[in-house]
Amino acid sequence: MAYCIGDSCISCGTCEAQCPVGAISAGDGKFEIDPDKCVSCGACAGACPVGAIEAD
């Protein structure tokens, strides 16, 4: 089960720095998670200051 970043993302980059497998990158207006790389560890969700990341 991969995680996804919702529209409340403020593009701060905190999640990208926390991802151990490099599955997160800057997208158009918000960060995006590559579901093929995501290992569902939840590190990004725990680090997000606005709670924009949830399990898909």
* Chain segment 13-56, per-residue pLDDT in tens: 999 999 999 999 999 999 999 999 999 999 999 999 999 999 98
Q: Per-residue b/e over 2-11, b at no fewer than 16 CB within 10 Å?
A: ebebeeebee
Find the radius of gyration of the CA atoms of the chain: 9
The pLDDT score that the predictor gives to residue 16 is 98
Domain that holds residue 38: 3-55
Rounded distance between C-alpha atoms, residue 48 and residue 28, angstroms:
18
pTM reported for the whole predicted model: 0.91
Q: What is the CATH number of the domain that holds 30?
A: 3.30.70.20
Q: What is the pLDDT of residue 1?
A: 78
